[in-house]
Structure 1
Amino acid sequence: MGASKIKNMEEFAAKSGISRPTVSKYFNDPGSVRASTRERIEAALKKYDYRPNIYAMNQNRQLTKNIGVVVPYLADPFFAEIARTIERRCIAAGFWPTLFSSHGEQQLENDILDSLRRLKPAGVLLGPLGRASDRNEIEKFCRDVPTVLIDANIDGVGEAFVGLDNFHSIPLMVDYLCRTGEPPCFFEMPPLNPNANKRRDAYKQAMTDLGHEPQVIRVPGDTWDFEQIGFDGGLQVIDGQQNKTNTVLCSNDRLAIGFLAAAYERGIRVGHGKDCALRVAGHDDHPFSRFTCPSLTTVAQNYESISERSVETLLHLIRDGKRGGERIEILFEGKLVMRASA
């Protein structure tokens, strides 16, 4: 352990008495070298306390092992869960994911794309801001780098989109609420990404198909602070008696969490019991939704399947090496999760 610090792979190869190509082969895939050679390399690693610069290795490859992962707002546990599952799948496939959050800011999203170009990633999984994105910048980036969009779809951009089928999940919830009580009004989230308007349109269509009049309630708000928007808007709705029904379908769970807090603030009991005055449902199966009071009825997105398919799709693009074909869209159905709130 008293040996001098090794600065690079060339020095390590010389010190350990193993050829540079063999050392490089080991770091790319330890199982690709003979067991006896692997033991010598690992003994030398321990002796010299050497760790290679993975990013430098990647930059010297024609095809790097870097994968960029970009989400619009990492403080949202929904995106944190998506990023977590994507990260695990990238690592299992032998790639090094680098995670970025654009925090709801267009300029930061553009800066992230510029940074990713310098990293020369093999591909990128991009959850764009959507309506707040600079479409021209994203289109230009996607022409340069194999890119699969997740969560928010921008029509015609990237090689593929993987996400939820809102026109299945929202009608699924509307049908359930209509069968079990009064038809719901729709408490709409700010249209920060394309999912907002798709869910509203899906609600209106589902209500019309069932012979009910849609009632959309839109409250002010243009930030990602959905819980606060749900709370403030919920107080407005309750105090102003804006809802013509005792059932409220929120366009995402974070809005619903805020709405539940507003109902509690006004002393309104939420649930489907005889002593309850209001039913509240959400969408997404946010990681906290099972722990609200009452627990939130919602539609679950399949985090595992969306993450797995998005990584599979990107890896296929990387390994196939063919780009510019027909863009594909892969949509997953939601699953109704019945809990105490509705």
Structure 2
Amino acid sequence: MAKPPSLQDVASTAGLSPATVSRFLNGSLNLPPETAERINTAIAKLNYRPNPHARSLSRGRSDTIGLVVPDVANPFFARLAAAVEHHAGQAGLGLMLCSSVNRQSRELDYIERLRRNHVDGLLFTTNHQDENHALRQAITSSRNIVVMDEDVDGTEVPKVFGDNLQGGRLAARHFLELGHHKLAYVGGSRNIMTSRERARGFADEVGAGDGEVVVELFGHYTAEYGRAAMAMLFDNHPDVTGVFIGSDQLMYGMAELARERGKRFGEHISVITYDDVGPLALLDPPLTAIHQPVEDIGRTGFDLLMKRMADDMSNPHIRLPVSIVVRDSVRPLR
């Protein structure tokens, strides 16, 4: 197979130095029309295709940003990735999508890639506690990084989250309005911000409305933990009539266990889930949910990263409002 023509081949054919051709192609050098025509003629004759990666590295950047997510199969993170990809494409940037499978060792590796200039900036999401403060140290020592969705305690970088406290309050009000006063919360780890805040907003509003959070169950944002939590509620807390579920992934496991027990959401126990990124309106019954503005989180995170890459070293922490989408999984208490 013939070797593709190189920049040096173009320069030789045009009778110019490689540096002159390189600067002309990068737009950093204006040449007389006849000289520019010699370069263009050589390019056409050789069918030369510039290497965009090499060109960007020669300018000290990759024209690529990274996005680290715990699990690309999770609909929430898949939609977040699609939003970031859209805005990166509009800005002429490539996107390197990195799935950490929620392992800190992989997250640290991707942050190290940023430091090695494999990407110009990094949008970072995690879904677990920062073990031994390793993430905090890595993020703090990195320049162009933005944290989204889940906090990493102790880091002072731009951040964007949904308003978890507001989400908990909205869920509580809806339960109380329909007569439910014996309630439960099922969420992720007690050690991560999203789970703590959703639980706190929910408990504060339930207490203000003379209701009771009978039990809080903290585990993991997974369907597997959802199954276990639903079994615990049915077996140990039969007085609970409404459950606030901290994520759609948890809800799928809870729904599976409920079906196996012959129980229906809305009819035997009322539920509100969090995220609203799956086809919840198509379920039976359609599920009431706290809607996270995933696309807005992606857009805002991207905008913050662009400012950071343009040497804006401020560290805004942005909370985007959430909303409740009322469907049919909370019925008035008989």
The Cα of 1:60 is off from its aligned counterpart by 2.3
Matched, 1:145 2:143: yes
Matched, 1:86 2:84: yes
The Cα of 1:109 is off from its aligned counterpart by 1.4
- Assess if the C-alpha contact under 8 Å between 2:80 and 2:298 holds in 1: yes
Which residue in the other structure is 1:21 paired with? 23
- Assess if the C-alpha contact under 8 Å between 1:82 and 1:303 holds in 2: yes
Which residue in the other structure is 1:260 paired with? 255
Question: SS of the counterpart of 2:329?
Answer: coil
Which residue in the other structure is 1:214 paired with? 213
Q: Output one character per residue of 1:273-294: Cα deviation in whole Å (capped at 9) or x when no partner.
A: xxx2221210011324333332
Which residue in the other structure is 2:56 paired with? 58
Alpha-carbon distance in 1 for matches of 2:101, 2:329: 30
Alpha-carbon distance in 2 for matches of 1:293, 1:53: 50
- Assess if the C-alpha contact under 8 Å between 1:250 and 1:280 holds in 2: yes
> Quick one: which amino acid aligns to residue 237 of structure 1?
L
Q: Against the structure 1 CA distance between its residues 312 and 46, is the aligned structure 2 distance closer, same or farther, given a 3 Å change threshold?
A: farther
The Cα of 1:192 is off from its aligned counterpart by 6.3
Matches for 1:129-208 after TM superposition, within 5 Å: 129-133=127-131, 135-183=133-181, 184-191=183-190, 193-208=192-207
Which residue in the other structure is 2:242 paired with? 247
- Assess if the C-alpha contact under 8 Å between 2:166 and 2:321 holds in 1: yes
Q: Against the structure 1 CA distance between its residues 277 and 59, is the aligned structure 2 distance closer, same or farther, given a 3 Å change threshold?
A: same
Alpha-carbon distance in 1 for matches of 2:57, 2:206: 54
Q: Against the structure 1 CA distance between its residues 330 and 8, is the aligned structure 2 distance closer, same or farther, given a 3 Å change threshold?
A: farther
Q: Against the structure 1 CA distance between its residues 136 and 181, is the aligned structure 2 distance closer, same or farther, given a 3 Å change threshold?
A: same
- Assess if the C-alpha contact under 8 Å between 1:13 and 1:23 holds in 2: no
- Assess if the C-alpha contact under 8 Å between 2:79 and 2:295 holds in 1: no
Matches for 1:91-102 after TM superposition, within 5 Å: 91-102=89-100
Alpha-carbon distance in 1 for matches of 2:284, 2:50: 49
Any unmatched runs of 5+ in structure 2? none
Question: SS of the counterpart of 1:187?
Answer: strand
Which residue in the other structure is 1:106 paired with? 104
Alpha-carbon distance in 2 for matches of 1:92, 1:201: 39
Selected match of 1:308 from 299, 307, 312: 299
Any unmatched runs of 5+ in structure 1? 27-33
Which residue in the other structure is 1:116 paired with? 114
Alpha-carbon distance in 1 for matches of 2:45, 2:328: 56
The Cα of 1:142 is off from its aligned counterpart by 3.5
The runs of at least 4 aligned residues of structure 1 exceeding 4 Å deviation read 12-18, 40-47
Range with greater deviation from structure 2 (136-145 or 160-169): 136-145
Range with greater deviation from structure 2 (77-86 or 136-145): 136-145
Instruction: Tell me the number of residue pairs that the alignment of Structure 1 and Structure 2 aligns.
Output: 318
- Assess if the C-alpha contact under 8 Å between 1:8 and 1:52 holds in 2: no
Matched, 1:237 2:233: yes
Q: Against the structure 1 CA distance between its residues 85 and 46, is the aligned structure 2 distance closer, same or farther, given a 3 Å change threshold?
A: farther
Q: Against the structure 1 CA distance between its residues 128 and 256, is the aligned structure 2 distance closer, same or farther, given a 3 Å change threshold?
A: closer
Question: SS of the counterpart of 2:318?
Answer: strand
Q: CA RMSD in A?
A: 2.9
Alpha-carbon distance in 2 for matches of 1:140, 1:132: 11
Range with greater deviation from structure 2 (16-25 or 93-102): 16-25
Q: Output one character per residue of 1:1-53: Cα deviation in whole Å (capped at 9) or x when no partner.
A: x9x54254443455578933232339xxxxxxx9xx89x96995797373514
- Assess if the C-alpha contact under 8 Å between 2:80 and 2:294 holds in 1: yes
> Quick one: which amino acid aligns to residue 291 of structure 1?
L
> Quick one: which amino acid aligns to residue 278 of structure 1?
I
> Quick one: which amino acid aligns to residue 187 of structure 2?
E
Q: Against the structure 1 CA distance between its residues 144 and 264, is the aligned structure 2 distance closer, same or farther, given a 3 Å change threshold?
A: closer
Question: SS of the counterpart of 1:119?
Answer: coil
Alpha-carbon distance in 2 for matches of 1:45, 1:193: 57
The Cα of 1:175 is off from its aligned counterpart by 0.5
Which residue in the other structure is 1:341 paired with? 329
Question: SS of the counterpart of 1:89?
Answer: helix
Q: Against the structure 1 CA distance between its residues 73 and 322, is the aligned structure 2 distance closer, same or farther, given a 3 Å change threshold?
A: same
Question: SS of the counterpart of 1:144?
Answer: coil
- Assess if the C-alpha contact under 8 Å between 2:171 and 2:202 holds in 1: no
Alpha-carbon distance in 1 for matches of 2:70, 2:194: 13
Q: Against the structure 1 CA distance between its residues 140 and 339, is the aligned structure 2 distance closer, same or farther, given a 3 Å change threshold?
A: same
- Assess if the C-alpha contact under 8 Å between 1:130 and 1:154 holds in 2: no
Alpha-carbon distance in 1 for matches of 2:132, 2:112: 13
- Assess if the C-alpha contact under 8 Å between 1:86 and 1:311 holds in 2: yes
Identical pairs, percent: 22
- Assess if the C-alpha contact under 8 Å between 2:102 and 2:128 holds in 1: no
Range with greater deviation from structure 2 (126-135 or 154-163): 126-135
| TM-score for the superposition, normalised by structure 2 | 0.84
Q: Against the structure 1 CA distance between its residues 134 and 21, is the aligned structure 2 distance closer, same or farther, given a 3 Å change threshold?
A: farther
Alpha-carbon distance in 1 for matches of 2:296, 2:265: 32
